[in-house]
Structure 1
């Protein structure tokens, strides 16, 4: 058994994901695949287009053998924490040989070089980073400039301009942090850039698909050319049954209500809120008429659009700085929640009984987590599902407790 791992969102699973899956399997000679996938809230601080169970089914029907949920405390977070949550989970399984991720650069050696510098943080590099941060620019931009100045190589600085390169570097950094034996491998992204909003070929970005679905009177069948057949059928069914599409605006009133009613003291504890931001959020939430205006009034070089979106979801869920500190101290993700599996996935599950350092959860009604931190982490996943369900187009699906009655999808 040669097992290949992925850290994904599949929002939704499209032809680009299929290309990456097939190309990665061929490149490393994998016999089995495991995807750690975000649940109902994603890295950019937005809700998934359709729920985690449906997206896991889409993935398994397109060739992924086992889909495991990335706990929301890591899934809806910065690139660094997103990567750490995923890598710590894959590493704890004890069976992953290689992890494959997409990147714009497609050069694993250059990605490793940058990752080593950012992990070691040599004194000179740290001085350059402080220098650029003191000018009031955002951390990601300051890091780019510090890296280029430290290496005297602007091409390395430019690598950090691209979102998938950044994630790739964070994956390698997390492998170093976990002292992992998992080998990193990268596949060059083709045809579409991460943030492209137009559908120009059979491979487009997930952003383009989501943008298409915000149009009035859209015809979902126009997406057949960019979503694989089996995945497309599952996705269309989710729309017809009133589970999708879901976007950030569906949570607008919930978020504004929470921001207006939470105390400044509670808001100060929310993860990633610092430098007195709680005061600005409280004042601005009273004047904002929608999320767009709220973010526009709060956005700065340091507090980017995406960072603010994540802060709002953290506030909604009650994720604090102390929570994240505690989770990082115990080594990241504390369980592997199974969302879907194939016949080959059952072979992996059998092996995991012997190799996994963390509990494998297939039925949370029957399997009780003993560690209090693991219990707390899982409670956020359950809460995230309960809040997410309030946005379903079909109000009949808006009942809570879906994590207790949904079972892993099996494609046998």
Structure 2
């Protein structure tokens, strides 16, 4: 059977995602679709606007058969590690035949040529030299690739960059997976306006935060499937959403203010004296946004800095990530499924290279979390649990701020 996998965030699920899902199943001739989805913290270093179970539920309502959580230690990473974690997890399911991803340019041959070039020593060397001068990763990559391939321009947009990293990961970890690029429709990744039925997730979030809800009949309402629109508004009215970086400001500042210089220096993506700047800025800033803009520069993009403060918030260190990168994802954690997903799970349990988790306490109890002698799997899972516990503190209504939700909420059967 053909099973198409997708690495997603669904923040929130909108019509562009629905189109991508439909096209993925069509061009893969797939009977089933699986989404590997980020949990409560995302690749751009911010909390998801809705909780992970609600986002997974929306996806399954729209036709995804099974949604699996991408462990936090990969979901909050830069493109290379985010993509690698997602591809490794899809491969370890043992049943996925195709992987489909959105791009600005569906030139598979060109994207593959860039992915190959990225593994060349001279390209890596030039990239590192350019980044030392303050160029961003994307600009450094494009400049280095210009010397080795005619397709360098493909690496200058967010989704193409991710696509290239997916292809690199497929070549290294999952050569049996067939890549399927799909060109994005209408809206660009960073668009904040809504002028059609397909809009960017950024635009939907921006409108939701501005208006308070998705106003029935408005462009934002029409940009998401009806079931998703209703569920988003229900969550807002209950005070479960939206969760934002601003809502976590005090916790972030408290965490960084109580870290010493060496602890800040041990955070991933911190180098060249940035730890001193972060420490000083945390004492002056009164919000997470002020902190970010005080330390932002040409060398340190806002996205990178957002990831760094999330690493600090969750207690993620360079040393820990290095260990997790050696193993890749160590479990298959189920968030939501339908009847087809139930069938897939039956096959996954037979074929998978790592265990399936439907009940958290069977792999890590709350008591075990208090001890240091955890296995690598348990340490990885502990970050997911901690991410949820902290995320809940950003809920607008105090009623929903309690921790331990990973132990109480079961996978959603839709």
Shorter-chain TM-score tier: over 0.9
Match of 1:373 in 2: 376
| Cα displacement string for residues 271-324 of structure 1 (whole angstroms, at most 9, x for unaligned residues) | 111222111111111122322222222112221100000000000000000111
Q: 1:70-109 to 2 correspondence within 5 Å?
A: 70-109=70-109
Distance in 2, Cα, partners of 1:53 & 1:309: 23
Q: How many residues align?
A: 405
| Residue 300 of structure 1, aligned match among 286, 297, 300 | 297
Distance in 2, Cα, partners of 1:306 & 1:203: 24
Q: 1:39-54 to 2 correspondence within 5 Å?
A: 39-54=39-54
Distance in 2, Cα, partners of 1:61 & 1:131: 47
Q: 1:64-143 to 2 correspondence within 5 Å?
A: 64-118=64-118, 120-121=119-120, 123-143=121-141
Q: Secondary structure at the match of 2:147?
A: helix
| Residue 175 of structure 2, aligned match among 170, 177, 180 | 180
Match of 2:392 in 1: 389
| Cα displacement string for residues 368-400 of structure 1 (whole angstroms, at most 9, x for unaligned residues) | 599810100000000000000011112111111
Q: Secondary structure at the match of 2:192?
A: coil
CA apart distance, 1:131: 4.2
Q: 1:12-411 to 2 correspondence within 5 Å?
A: 12-118=12-118, 120-121=119-120, 123-151=121-149, 153=150, 156-216=151-211, 219-221=214-216, 222=218, 223-330=220-327, 332-367=328-363, 372-411=375-414
- TM-score scaled to structure 1, two decimals? 0.95
Structure 1: unaligned runs, 5 residues or longer:
none
- TM-score scaled to structure 2, two decimals? 0.94
CA apart distance, 1:95: 0.6
Distance in 2, Cα, partners of 1:73 & 1:238: 27
Distance in 1, Cα, partners of 2:293 & 2:224: 33
CA apart distance, 1:261: 1.1
Preserved contact between residue 91 and residue 180 of structure 1 (Cα < 8 Å)? no
Aligned Cα RMSD in Å? 1.6
Q: Secondary structure at the match of 1:213?
A: helix
Distance in 1, Cα, partners of 2:125 & 2:266: 29
CA apart distance, 1:243: 1.1
Distance in 2, Cα, partners of 1:372 & 1:237: 39
Structure 2: unaligned runs, 5 residues or longer:
366-372
Q: Bigger CA drift: 377-386 or 227-236? A: 227-236
Preserved contact between residue 128 and residue 150 of structure 1 (Cα < 8 Å)? no
Distance in 1, Cα, partners of 2:279 & 2:364: 39
